[in-house]
Structures are given as structure tokens and as C-alpha cells.
Amino acid sequence: MTDFTASDAVPAPRKGSLLTQDARTKQRNAKEARFRMMGLVAVTIGLLSLVGLLTSILASGLSSFQQTYIELEVYLDPAKLDKTGNRNPEDIAKVSTFGYAPLIDAAMGAAIERVGAATDINAKAAGELISKEAPASLRDFVLANIDRIGETVQFDLLAAGRIDGFFKGRVTMETAALDRNISPEQLQLADQLKEAGILTTKFNWAFFTAPDASDTRPEAAGLGVAIIGSIYMMLIVLVLALPLGVAASIYLEEFAPKNRWTDLIEVNISNLAAVPSIVFGILGLAIFINMVGLPQSAPIVGGLVLTLMTLPTIIIATRAALKSVPPSIRDAALGVGASKMQAIFHHVLPLAMPGILTGAIIGLAQALGETAPLLLIGMVAFVREYPGGPPEGFFDPAAALPVQVYNWTQRGDPAFVERASGAIIVLLVFLVLMNIAAILLRRRFERRW
């Protein structure tokens, strides 16, 4: 009975044609189409947010690469700068920057007269067009060139932040009317100076070289100290993390016996790579600063903390690179009589090098953008002195690029928003360069089997 019913259950041959889809096929095809759509939507959302992010940063940050300068002929009045008249450097150094401000006001007045600008603002208000940084640059010049006191010297002085903002569209006549730091009359004067060619907008080299500046002179703030600090930290990370990481992975991958201990270490390395970076900051504060007694705000501490953070990344990348070298290479080397160490150092390591370097660069890029651990070890500070040359400079206070961004976003003067976005652009350019280097290395040297 059962046999009979079974043979009876042979399915009827499928009807219809390949050209017309039945309901089930349609359903499956629709499912696939929906999935594709969702994928596209996901990619589009990702791209749109990236474009949005980049446009907002570029829109507010690109202007920081331009800076407004005012060209003034300043008479270095001996009556003000060298009251004794004996050109003694010590006496001249006693004149503080406050003593230089009147010289600039006078030079400004002379410039207004020369170009015949029609304005009824007083000398003090006209002097406010010039940055508060200007007396300091004037003083530096005089102290370096004492013999030029009494001459009229041409200076390219920074324009005040609000004036700079006016030519970048951040400050308008309407906002100036409400702003107690600038008046529409001052802006009109700035316009006239621009027409006369005294006021010019130039590429802002100082943004890359100058140190940070206080809240009263955003126009003078630059990334110099932060860039040096970041480079120092990357150097430390590279010098410490690369050899340590590579040595550790070669040992773990090639020599270590497979037992419970090495398993434990392996699990820990993977876990360490996932530890939030702020934890490394706390560790750095406790060990490097409080226990070892290293100085605060110094690149050495930042570098060490970032080294700990980058090590797992490098170890994992290096091990993956070593693993991808086919065992036949090792076997062949051993077969012709090479020792294990020779096989690894002469044959396996060179083949794994592109992968190792890529991993190291990506680890470095990650460390470069890291902010959280640096907050805890005093890198978020107002630092104006350039650190010395390495290695002593590693112990001098410095800032770092990402913390400089953080720092500037907290300032009261709106001009710092532009500076912060500019600093983000610089940081992004560094990161992109590093990632391109990683890609190029991989493209050029990677071998596939």
C-alpha cells in the first residue's frame, strides 16, 4: 500500500516557461532587489554623512589658511624705546610690550593720513585694527636689531581677529554694530585700507608654525607646538612599539610553544586592543607621572601611553602578516639547511614586511588622532614654548593636534571656531597621508600566493 502511494506522489512536471516567472521566483527576486536597495541606501547614508561632515569642516575651516595682514611703517622711536640713549640691550629689554603699543598707534595714524582714508575714529580705535600680538613681534625685532632703533621699518603686522573675520565673512556690519569689540566705523576703515593696498590677505604660514595664543588674539594662534608634539609622540610610538610589537609577534607566531600560557597571552592581546583608550590615559597618569615621576604635559608620557595603546594593533597585524607567508617558504629554507632563525629573518620576515608596515602605519594613524588618554596626562594645556630638540625635547611640555582642536573649541572668541576646524583639516590631511602610505606600501610590495 505504502509503495503504491509513494509512486503516486511523484511531482507533476513543472508547468510554465522559463520566460515567465512564477510567484515563488518573483518573491525571491523581489527579496534580492530589496536587499540591494537597502545596501545602496546604507552606502548612500554613509557617503552623505561623510560629505556633510567634510563640507561643514571645510566650510568653516578653510578660511583659517588665509590671514589678514596690515603693512605698516613703524618709526622705532628712540625716545620711547631707549630712554637712556646708550643702546644698552638690558635697558631696551626693560621696555615691555605695553611700551610698544603707542608706536603702532602712531604708525597706524600715519598710514591713515598717507592713504587719505576718510574716518573720524580716534587713534586708539584705529590701533585696535592691529592684533595685540603686534607689539610682541615689534619688540622681538627691536631686541634682535638694536642698531635699527631710530629708523622707520616696514612691518607686516597681523590684523585683529574681528577685522580678519570681516574679510572672511564671519563679521558683518550688522554684527559689528552689536559687538563691543569692533565698530562698523573700524570695518569701514579696514575696507579703505584694503583698497589702498595696505591691508592684504595672504596664505597663513603662521598657522602651521606659530604657537598657541591666548583668547585675546585668536589671529595669532597656530599649530606649531601641537604639530611638533604630535610628531614627537609618533616618533616615540614608532621607535618603541614597532620593534617590541614585531619581536613579540615573531616569538609568539614562530617560536612560542603552544600551551595554556601562550593562549592566555593571545587572548589578552586581543582584549587589550579593545580596551577604551581613556583607560590607557589613567594607567599613564598612575604609572608614568605619579610613580615614575615623568613630567606633566610632556610628549614622552603621551608617547609611552600611545605606545601601550598601539602595541596590540601592531602585534595583531604583524601576526596576520607572518601567518600569510606560506609554510612552503619556511620548509624550503629549512630544507636547504637554514636554521629556524635564518629562515625567519632571511625569508619570512621580508615577505611579511609590507603587511607589518601597513599595520604599523594604521596603528600610528590611530594613535595620532587619539585624544582621550592625553586629556589625563596634562597635554590639554596652554603651551607657547616650542619643545627642544629630541631627545631632551621629549620631556618639555607640548600640545598635540587633537587636543589642540579640543582646546580651541572651548575658547570664548568665535574666531577660534575657524581655527579649530582648520586644525581638524590639518589632522585629517596627516591621517590621509599616512593611510595613503599604507595603501601604497601594500600595493607595491605585497605578494599574493
Contacts of 277 (CB under 8 A, 6+ apart): 309, 370, 372, 373
* Cβ proximity to other proteins, 214 vs 277, nearer residue: 214
Q: Cβ of residue 106: shortest distance to other proteins, in angstroms? A: 19
Beta strands 66-75; 199-203: pairing state: antiparallel
Separation CA 101–CA 105 (nearest Å): 6
Separation CA 321–CA 174 (nearest Å): 61
Q: Cβ of residue 415: shortest distance to other proteins, in angstroms? A: 9
Residues binding other proteins (CB under 8 A): 93, 96-98, 132, 136, 139, 171, 175-176, 178-181, 213-217, 240, 244-245, 248, 251-252, 265, 268-269, 272, 287-289, 292-297, 300, 304, 307-308, 311-312, 315, 378, 380-385, 392, 394-397, 409-414
Q: How many CA atoms lie within 13 A of 179 on its CB side?
A: 21
Q: Cβ of residue 333: shortest distance to other proteins, in angstroms? A: 24
Tell whether the torsion through CA atoms of 7, 8, 11 and 12 is positive or negative: positive
Are the CB atoms for 241 and 311 separated by under 8 Å? yes
Q: Cβ of residue 185: shortest distance to other proteins, in angstroms? A: 16
Query: In one letter, which amino acid is 100?
Result: Y
Are the CB atoms for 417 and 409 separated by under 8 Å? yes
* Cβ proximity to other proteins, 287 vs 425, nearer residue: 287
* Cβ proximity to other proteins, 117 vs 224, nearer residue: 224
Phi, psi for 64 (deg, rounded to 5): -70, -10
Q: Cβ of residue 243: shortest distance to other proteins, in angstroms? A: 9
* Cβ proximity to other proteins, 322 vs 333, nearer residue: 322
DSSP line for 141-170 = HHHH-GGGTTSEEEEEEEBPHHHHHHHTTS
Residue 106 corresponds to which cell in the numbers above? 602712531
Separation CA 173–CA 356 (nearest Å): 57
Q: Cβ of residue 381: shortest distance to other proteins, in angstroms? A: 4
Contacts of 325 (CB under 8 A, 6+ apart): 348, 351, 352
Q: Cβ of residue 202: shortest distance to other proteins, in angstroms? A: 23
Residue 27 CB neighbour total at 10 angstroms? 10
* Cβ proximity to other proteins, 244 vs 334, nearer residue: 244
What's 198's DSSP letter? Answer: S
Residue 306 corresponds to which cell in the numbers above? 600611545
Q: Cβ of residue 308: shortest distance to other proteins, in angstroms? A: 7
Q: Cβ of residue 444: shortest distance to other proteins, in angstroms? A: 29
- Look at residues 296, 243, 273, 281 and name the one whose alpha carbon lies nearest to residue 376: 281
Q: Cβ of residue 288: shortest distance to other proteins, in angstroms? A: 6
* Cβ proximity to other proteins, 201 vs 409, nearer residue: 409
Q: Cβ of residue 140: shortest distance to other proteins, in angstroms? A: 8
* Cβ proximity to other proteins, 69 vs 288, nearer residue: 288
* Cβ proximity to other proteins, 66 vs 175, nearer residue: 175
Separation CA 325–CA 320 (nearest Å): 9
Contacts of 28 (CB under 8 A, 6+ apart): none
* Cβ proximity to other proteins, 211 vs 441, nearer residue: 211
* Cβ proximity to other proteins, 109 vs 295, nearer residue: 295
Beta strands 199-203; 152-158: pairing state: unpaired
Q: Cβ of residue 351: shortest distance to other proteins, in angstroms? A: 22
Sheet holding 152-158: strands in order across?
152-158, 66-75, 199-203
* Cβ proximity to other proteins, 354 vs 378, nearer residue: 378
Are the CB atoms for 204 and 65 separated by under 8 Å? yes
* Cβ proximity to other proteins, 198 vs 248, nearer residue: 248
